[in-house]
Amino acid sequence: MPNGSEQYDKKNVLVTGGAGFIGSYLCEHLLKDSRVICVDNFVTSQESNIDHLLKNQDFEFIRHDFNTPFDPEIFPELARFKIKFQGIQEIYHLACPTSPKKFDQFKIQTLLANSQAVKNALDLAVRYHAKIQLASASVVYGPRKPDNSPYKEDDYGMVNALSPRACYDEGKRYAETMFETYRQVYKLETKIARIFRTYGPRMPLYDGQMVPDFITDALDNKDLIIYGDETFKTSLTYVSDIVDAMVKLMAAPADIGPVNLGSDLDMPLVDVAQRVIEMTGSTSRITFEPPLLFMSQLGLPDITKAKEKLGWLPLVRLDEGLKRAIDYTVAHKSLLGFKM
């Protein structure tokens, strides 16, 4: 079986959840110098996210539920990737449902995505001696600290393993444990990206993801709904910054350990909603509804490690990121299923 030390004209990279919000941008970025195999089952993602990539000869999409084993060598459409000879050099595991409004509907899929799907991805990494990265999340730290101080990577956090959302929160912690155990036992090069709240074009609409819903509602002069109260704060990082960090993390030394990826700027959601109203010239009002189970206040990241070890920090300012998301929504309004 080929190993990662051999040289090829282009790497073969597998991205699970590659048709999702972050995954589609990651696939697009990786195509600059790699061949990309995108695997997704469209549970909370959409084909339109990757339509523009399908004609690229270095890109192939496979519809598959990664909760079941995946053998890339049995797919004839992957023959040009020469996987039997070259193998797979890198795996990014992003596959996991992320729907705030449909969280209860996908609890079992979420549980399996953070356990069985992780095992299937890790087993592939063992088979091909591939580097592998987990898209973990800020939820591994649990709720915000009482003093709002940021979390460092060596903070243990506190998560209720029996809570209604534990399939995601505790699931991400277990996924990290699996990555670390495979690293210890099989000497894999594993990377753990602890991703904080991210926004940008291609996020699902009408799904409880507040930034895209702010934009669509503002364009339609409807109320902008915050699932919480006036005190709801969050950090927001534009998707291209997160993708850049993930690629830098994959290239980092093998022993780097988990890395926080996000913004350390605390932002009241009321201010974000107001900026969207101003930028769209909307007559919308801001209203408040009870919190959604999946959409809660999260802790802030200490990003010192990302700055020092990866040479990374978020570059896209909020106004610029919102403008890009608004422009995308206006340009794709017919495809996105709403009227202006």
**For every residue of 188-254, which 3-state class applies, written as one string?**
CCEEEEEECCEECCCCCCCCCCHHHHHHHHHHCCCCEEEECCCCCEECCEEHHHHHHHHHHHHHCCC
- For residue 233, the cross-strand partners are 268
Burial environment of residue 26 by CB neighbours within 10 A (0 to 12, 13 to 18, 19 or more): buried
Query: Annotated active-site positions, please?
Result: 168
Q: What is the pLDDT of residues 136-148, one digit of tens each?
A: 999 999 988 888 8
Least reliable range by pLDDT among 80-84, 108-112, 209-213, 242-246: 209-213
Least reliable range by pLDDT among 133-137, 263-267, 336-340: 336-340
Per-residue pLDDT, 4 = 47
Per-residue pLDDT, 3 = 52
Of the chain, the percentage scoring pLDDT greater than 70 comes to 94
Q: Which domains does the chain have, with CATH numbers?
A: 11-198+236-261 (3.40.50.720), 201-234+265-299+316-332 (3.90.25.10)
Q: Tell me 151's DSSP state.
A: B
Q: What is the mean pLDDT of residues 312-335?
A: 90
Rounded to the nearest integer, the mean pLDDT of the chain is 92
Residue 293 pLDDT class (50, 70, 90 cuts): low
CA distance linking residue 322 with residue 145, whole number of Å: 28
User: Has this prediction a pTM greater than 0.85?
Assistant: yes
Q: Please check the confidence at residue 206 and state whether its pLDDT lies above 80.
A: no
The answer to whether the CB of 237 falls within 8 A of the CB of 196 is yes
The answer to whether the CB of 150 falls within 8 A of the CB of 302 is yes
Residue with tokens 């998707």: 239
Per-residue pLDDT, 232 = 87
Cα–Cα distance list, 29 to 33, 129, 187, 197 (Å) = 8, 23, 28, 20
Per-residue pLDDT, 158 = 86
Least reliable range by pLDDT among 63-67, 206-210, 260-264: 206-210
